[in-house]
Structure 1
Amino acid sequence: MKYLIAILLVGAASPAFAQHQGHSTSGRETESPSTQEQNACEAEAERHRAMGHAVPEGSCAPSEQQSDDHSGTDHSQMDHSTMDHSTMEHSSMDHSSMGQEPGPNGQATGEQVDHSTMAHDDMAMEIPSGPPPASAGSGPAKAADAYWGAEAMDEARERLRHEQGGQQYFWFQGDRLEYRAHEDADGYLFDLQVYYGGDLDKFWFKSEGEGSFGEEIEGAEVQALYSRAIAPFFDFQAGIRQDFAPMDRTYAVVGIQGLAPYLFEIDAAAFLSDQGDLTARVEAELDQRITQRLVVQPRVEASFSAQDVPELGIGAGLDSIEAGVRLRYHFAREFAPYIGIDQEWRIGQSADYARAEGEDPNVTNYVIGVRFWF
């Protein structure tokens, strides 16, 4: 009886054994869908680990229920387009270790990953660094004419030239407007410059004068000049100068004005009077910034004459030198009061003329003034 029961049990188990053996054999030839999904999951997990994402080991292992419930399911036939990912729970994801090297157990070690060595070929965009290709300039010079018409584009180009270099400017500067204290009598000085025009051509107006309080003005002049740019930082100037003191006299003027190397502001001019007197004057200034608002300015002026002009107290050769330094503070870029000291020397025959008039040929002035422009 025992033997009969054993034979029946073996016979009943044989079909199931054969079926499972068949599944095992076919698994070696063709992977089941669940195995394919697990392999894909492992590959995705490795990719995330390489990017620095923490992926626990075993996260792709199927549970017993999944193995039982999905062993016969063909996921390739499932429609994933209707899945709602907005309801997925992302709050439990650990982003704090992103960018860190994962350890052997999949946890972040704190070591930063060098993303420069990661393959971003699909996302990288090559930025051109060389010159543009020759074809970039091979089109017609005025291609827009074909779309908008030559007349409309000529007007647009003319407006562009006007707006990008053809503007007219007005500029007014009181370079020196100062009170001068010295031994004999306190005095004053003004030095004004105005221009109107564009980048190349300007009308330039200059006026200088000085004197002592309670006395007649010692000297006053006005210059009206045409100015033409001859270099990026220099203008050629020509025009007329009119003196009102110490006597009326008219001069033809030729000169240059601009910014020399090392930021020296230069104003040099030659004057030919209606009496045939030839004189010249050179001025140089240099702004040295102590701070953005505090500026010290050394200044030198020298006058020359080709001949003696006794009625004006001018001797031939080097006539006079004036040197000084001013310290100014810019409350605004357009407004800067200053203090300073200025020394005047009459040279040679000019010194003799000054002594004959009872004047000191060497004068020290302590100055306080303001510099402004708009």
Structure 2
Amino acid sequence: MRLIVAMLLVGTATPAFAQDHSGHAMPAEQEPAQTECEREAARHRAMGHPVPAGACAPVTQPTDPATGNESDGHAGMDHSQMDQSQMEGMDHSTTDHSAMDHSQMPAMDDSTMEGMDHSAMGHEGTQSPGEASMDHGSMDHGTMNHGTMDMAPIPQVPPPAAAGSGPPRAADAIWGAEAMRASRDALRDENGGMNVFWFQGDRAEYRAREGGDGYLWDVQGYYGGDLDKFWFKSEGEGTFGERPESAEIQGLWSHAIGPWWDLQAGVRQDLTGPARTHAVIGVQGLAPYMFELDAAAFLSTKGDLTARVEAELDQRITQRLILQPRAEVNLSAQDIPELGVGSGLDSVELGLRLRYEFAREFAPYIGIEQEWKIGQSADYARLAGEDPSVTNYVVGVRFWF
């Protein structure tokens, strides 16, 4: 019955509305007997909406501050009491929301906003005077990759000439030369100019071999900075129960001649056999393919010229298990009978050691090394009752601090 009464009331309405309700279903013919407020109330009754008390009381139309025009009359209506479930199909595209009091509307959560098309909503009425109108419906956010926005590329060219055109040591004029000298010294020390001490036992091993087990040591270290260092080295070997076969110590000044190489010069003192002191010059560093190389020439106080080249390579099986091939070659420019050294190629050593680094500073190892005396040096060894070819099975430890 309520729906029938509402339809009868709607049938008596006229189309003379102050606002455009083109989205609502309206009768074709209406009678002009009712006021606009009464026609509006009849429409709400037809849609099943409750009509607020005093809805037809005279209302002064507010003025829109943005346009200077009167609003459509909805500003005074309390929509919170309306049953909006029956408003499906209404076309709000032509409704001016700028004059509607949304502060009285019940809060909406995100779940109720699913499916809402914000692209067609005009936000012009919500902006303050002077702000440009934003058409969010025409913005294609799909093409805007906010996660991988391109940054300015890092320059790959040298700095411009103007970067170094200022006067040198310009800060001296502000802070004074003495104050800036102390600051520059501190900066140099903090960025690589400090002195460092380092010591390494490259080989400290027991040698099991035919004819008597022996021992060997090979240690080195330095004190200094990035460019200049003082190096010290010592190595020697022998047989248990006998005097050392060879022993020496070196003191060298080292200067960096490149990122990977140091030039070394100094003295070497032999500690066994005929007393000899040698002048030393050589290079030490990292060759291509990660070979650690140490090459030096020696000139003794007797005029003997000899040379030694050592090379080793760390092959990592795991981060802690490392296989190290090693080679050493000794040469002489002349025969030195009292030392058992022949001219040319004196001796060759080839070794293979497998170490395990419990820590980087401590790594025990096992291995094998083969020594050969060559040429005239082999003849000197045989005359002394020695075997010119010796195989050593070694157990040792490599350490540094």
1:319 maps to which residue? 346
- Given candidates 362, 365, 368, the residue that maps to 1:341 is 368
Partner of 1:271: 298
Point out where structure 1 has 5 or more consecutive residues left out of the alignment.
1-8, 22-29, 37-56, 63-70, 103-113
Q: Deviations along 1:77-120, whole A, 9 cap, x unmatched?
A: 96x8xx699x945374588x9xxx99xxxxxxxxxxx9641497
Cα displacement (A) at 1:130: 5.3
Residues 14/262 of structure 1: CA separation in 2 closer, same or farther (3 Å cut): closer
Between the two proteins, the alignment pairs up a number of residues equal to: 307
SS of residue matched to 2:310: strand
The CA distance in 2 between the partners of 1:314 and 1:346, in whole Å, is: 9
SS of alignment partner, residue 165 of structure 1:
helix
Distance 1:34 1:18 in 2: 11
Q: Is the 8 A contact 1:188 1:212 kept in 2?
A: yes
Distance 1:130 1:335, change over 3 A: closer
SS at match of 2:187: helix
Query: Which residue, out of 215, 228, 239, partners 2:266?
Result: 239
Partner of 1:306: 333
SS at match of 1:350: helix
Q: Which residue of 2 aligns with 1:281?
A: 308
Partner of residue 168, structure 1: 195
Q: How does 1:98-177 map to 2 (within 5 A)?
A: 116-118=142-144, 127-129=151-153, 131=155, 137=163, 140=166, 151-177=178-204
1:328 aligns with 2:355: yes
What is the letter of the counterpart of residue 151 of structure 2? Answer: I
1:16 aligns with 2:73: no
Tell me, in whole angstroms, the C-alpha distance in 1 between the residues paired with 2:205 and 2:97: 98
Asked if the contact 1:33–1:75 (Cα under 8 Å) also holds between the matched residues in 2, the reply is no
Residues 143 and 76 (structure 1), Cα distance of their counterparts in 2 relative to 1, 3 Å cut: farther
How far 1:128 moved relative to its partner?
1.6
Instruction: Map 1:187-198 onto structure 2 (within 5 A).
Output: 187-198=214-225
Deviation at 1:316, TM superposition (A): 0.5
Superposed displacement of residue 187, structure 1: 0.3
The 3 A distance-change label for structure 1 pair 189 and 119 is closer
Give how far 1:235 is off: 0.5
- Partner Cα separation in structure 2 for residue 312 and residue 118 of structure 1: 81
Tell me by how many angstroms 1:192 deviates. Answer: 0.3
Structure number having the greater strand percentage = 1
Larger radius of gyration: 2
1:33 and 1:74 in contact (8 A); partners too: no
Any idea what the Cα deviations from partners look like across 1:230-279, whole Å, max 9, x if unmatched? 11101111101000113321111111110000011110111111111111
Distance in 2 (CA, whole Å) between partners of 1:147 and 1:116 is 55
Q: Which residue of 2 aligns with 1:207?
A: 234
Cα distance, 1:18–1:259 mapped onto 2, change above 3 Å: closer
**How much has 1:158 moved relative to structure 2?**
2.4
CA spacing shift, 1:135–1:285, aligned 2, 3 Å = closer
Q: In the alignment, residue 188 of structure 1 is paired with which amino acid? A: Y
Q: Distance in 2 between matches of 1:338 and 1:118?
A: 59
| Identity %, equivalent residues | 60
Task: Name the CA distance, whole Å, in 2 between partners of 1:206 and 1:84.
Answer: 90
Relative to structure 1, the CA distance from residue 116 to residue 216 in structure 2 (aligned partners, 3 Å threshold; closer, same or farther) is farther
Deviation of 1:198 after TM superposition, in Å, equals 0.4
* CA spacing shift, 1:266–1:135, aligned 2, 3 Å: closer
Q: Is the 8 A contact 1:279 1:304 kept in 2?
A: yes
Secondary structure of the residue that 1:328 maps to in structure 2? strand
For residue 245 of structure 1, give the secondary structure of its aligned residue in structure 2. coil
2-structure distance, mates of 1:184, 1:33: 117
CA 1:135/1:207 → structure 2, altered by over 3 Å: closer, same or farther?
A: closer
CA distance in 2, matches of 1:124, 1:283: 52
Instruction: Give the drift of 1:155.
Output: 2.7
What residue number does 1:364 align with? 391
Secondary structure of the 1:161 match is: helix
| Alignment-mate amino acid for residue 393 of structure 2 | Y
Q: Deviation string for 1:187-217 (max 9, x for gaps)? A: 0000000100000100000000100011111
Deviating runs (4+, > 6 A) in structure 1? Answer: 17-21, 59-62, 123-126
Q: Cα distance, 1:138 vs. partner?
A: 7.8
Q: Give the root-mean-square deviation of aligned CA atoms.
A: 4.1
**What corresponds to 1:90 in structure 2?**
109
Cα distance in structure 2, aligned partners of 1:253 and 1:282:
13
1:226 aligns with 2:253: yes
Structure 2 stretches lacking a partner, 5+ long: 1-11, 13-30, 40-68, 76-86, 119-139
1:135/1:274 CA distance change after superposition, 3 Å: closer
**Whole-angstrom distance in 2 between the partners of 1:293 and 1:261:** 23
Question: Which amino acid in 2 is paired with 1:341?
Answer: I
Instruction: For 1:38-117, list aligned pairs within 5 A.
Output: 76=99, 88=107, 90=109, 92=111, 116-117=142-143
1:351 to 368, 372, 378: 378
Residue type at the aligned position of 1:137: A
Partner residue in 2 for 1:292: 319
Deviations 1:15-70 (CA, angstroms, capped at 9, x unpaired): 5378999xxxxxxxx9964899xxxxxxxxxxxxxxxxxxxx969867xxxxxxxx
Which whole-Å CA distance do the structure 2 matches of 1:353 and 1:226 have between them?
A: 35
